[in-house]
Amino acid sequence: MSLSLLPSELLILLLEHCVRTRRFSRAYRLRLVNKAFAICTVKAMLQIGTSQRKLKLDKDDSGQSPLISKLFNPKAGWFWQQMLERCVLALRPPSRNALIIRSIAHRILQHQLEPHSTDYTDEDFRACVTKLCHLIIIHEHFQLNRYDYMEPQVAEDPNSLPSSDYFHQQLLSAASFFGFVGMVEDLCHQGFYHTLPRNESIFPDPQACAAYGGHRELVCLFAEKYPEMSPSDPFGGPRNTVVRWAGLAQHDDLVDMALNPRWTNSRANEYTLKYLHGNLLQTRSIDTLRRFLPILKEWTSDPNLRLLPPYPHLHAAKLGEFHSRFLRDRMFSASKCGLKDIVLYLLDEFQVPVDFCPDAQLEQSGRPILDAAMYGHTELVRLFLDRGAIPGYAIEHAATGGFVDTVQLLLEHGGAEETVIRTALERAIWKEHDSVVKLLESSGASLIATEHNEAMKKAKT
């Protein structure tokens, strides 16, 4: 059977085995086996543009890879979470960190189901482990300490782990994430509220976990009684922690509370605005954007309205910076994700242009329509065309992805040069998108023999 027909779950399992036994530098070579492995490894392991010549993925003397922060792709959380779940649930002898996660999952379920604490099923346990692993991936502890999770030998007695201070500190964070007020208060009274450095703690600090879980009571409890708990964020106490982590989970009411100058004694600073800026760039919710974008605009453009010091990349009294930086980036991210409601909001409320480089007809950058076409968002491409966007290379991107409807729309609209259409046909042949090839050829596109042979060679390799 061809390797290209293997299910994605089996591909990930093979990748995990290679990572575990041969390190990342060897696992990365699997991209040469076939296209399925290439797509999986490149997207999951590496950020786009990382050169193979720069790969130095094995541990150095300190136990960490020198390029690990550059090589891990935060958008591939699905890959790392599945790998982490298998490390925790595996039948083979688990690592110390995996044992801690398993023990915490059992303790969480026992607390949740009291007084019938032994009545939970395997499905309940797996669901709890999945939530805990998601929290670890968001915290990036697994990515930065992956071999500590994969190592099959335990350095200490497994029976002593649940009684250690480290275990109770991790349990406090997990209980905060699940919103167990009673368990949190008991652990805090026992003195386990002192947080660990980010690279040492499996989970984020309890304040961050409570904010990410959307538990207002715990967020306020930590801010009022244990303000020293939030140095996990070295840039400013509980206010910034809540803005950052509640914003990631789109708990807008908590973000509102943290932005209120009267909340807690901690002062806001430029990082408060930075986290708000980052969350608004990533959110998929039009309601969240409508709620906080005017605040960001006021802080950016008018120093008299701005409640916080200026964010370094959004200078005060320069409204042009707001339009050229944030609105541009937000338009591109919404185009990639196909968020039509956000695109319409930016176009209508802030008059964001559909083309950021209108003088260059075939400019590769500065055109949201290219991102919409690359990811096959046909209705968004139609919207940009109706608003006067220049197609440029959009048909090439759509053909590369194999999006027939988008290619059809761009052909019907016209405006693409003959060389661009020929390149689109070449890429469709290379990527083996037969339906796109037929559509382009039926419209009159063709390649000379040498171009066709070259595209076929790329397809085979």
The per-residue DSSP string of 220-244 comes to HHHHHH-GGG-TTSTTSHHHHHHHH
404 Cβ partners below 8 Å, 6+ apart? 435, 436, 439
Of residues 264 and 52, the one with the higher pLDDT is: 264
- pLDDT at position 178 over 50: yes
Mean pLDDT score, 319-327: 64
What is the torsional sign of CA 410, 416, 420, 426?
positive
- Reported as a pLDDT band with limits 50, 70 and 90, residue 236 is low
All domains of the chain in start order, with CATH: 163-267 (no CATH), 353-460 (1.25.40.20)
Mean pLDDT score, 1-6: 54
pLDDT of amino acid 96? 83
Q: Collapse the DSSP code of 182 into the 3-class scheme (helix H, G, I; strand E, B; otherwise coil) and give the result.
A: helix
| CB under 8 A, 24+ apart: contacts of 221-224 | 221/181, 221/184, 221/185, 222/176, 222/193, 223/263, 223/264, 223/266, 224/264
DSSP H/E element including 110: helix 96-112
**CA gyration radius for the chain?**
25
Least confident of 162-166, 175-179, 315-319: 315-319
- pLDDT at position 75 over 80: no
Return d(Cα 151, Cα 243) in angstroms, integer: 35
What is the torsional sign of CA 228, 230, 231, 237?
negative
DSSP H/E element including 430: helix 418-430
Mean pLDDT score, 114-119: 66
Q: Collapse the DSSP code of 21 into the 3-class scheme (helix H, G, I; strand E, B; otherwise coil) and give the result.
A: helix
Least confident of 48-62, 82-96, 379-393, 423-437: 48-62
245 within 8 A of 211, measured Cβ to Cβ: yes
According to DSSP, residue 197 is labeled P
Q: Collapse the DSSP code of 384 into the 3-class scheme (helix H, G, I; strand E, B; otherwise coil) and give the result.
A: helix
Distance of CA 413 to the CA centre of its chain: 34
pLDDT of amino acid 18? 67
pLDDT of amino acid 25? 56
Across the chain, mean pLDDT equals 75
Return d(Cα 371, Cα 257) in angstroms, integer: 35
The per-residue DSSP string of 238-298 comes to HHHHHHHHHHHTT-HHHHHHHHSTTSSSPPP-HHHHHHHHHHHHH---HHHHHHHHHHHHH
pLDDT of amino acid 148? 75
268 within 8 A of 232, measured Cβ to Cβ: no
HSE, side-chain direction, 13 A CA sphere, residue 164: 15
Give the Cα-Cα-Cα angle 227, 313, 136 (nearest 5 degrees): 45
Give the Cα-Cα-Cα angle 183, 186, 189 (nearest 5 degrees): 150
pLDDT of amino acid 292? 86
| CB under 8 A, 24+ apart: contacts of 441-448 | 443/411, 445/421, 446/422, 447/422
Q: Collapse the DSSP code of 28 into the 3-class scheme (helix H, G, I; strand E, B; otherwise coil) and give the result.
A: helix
Amino acid (1-letter code) at residue 420:
V
Of residues 410 and 83, the one with the higher pLDDT is: 410
Percentage of the residues of the chain whose pLDDT score is greater than 70:
64
Least confident of 22-31, 39-48, 56-65: 56-65
Amino acid (1-letter code) at residue 161:
L
Omega before 115 cis (within 30°)?
yes
- Reported as a pLDDT band with limits 50, 70 and 90, residue 426 is confident
- pLDDT at position 205 over 50: yes
pLDDT of amino acid 32? 58
Q: Measured between alpha carbons, how far is residue 138 from residues 142, 274, 410 in Å?
A: 9, 18, 38
pLDDT of amino acid 272? 78
Least confident of 12-21, 146-155, 357-366: 357-366
pLDDT of amino acid 367? 82
pLDDT of amino acid 255? 92
- pLDDT at position 2 over 60: no
Residues facing residue 314 across a β-bridge: 311
**Helices 252-259 and 216-225: crossing angle, nearest 10°?**
30
The structure's pTM equals 0.75
pLDDT of amino acid 7? 66
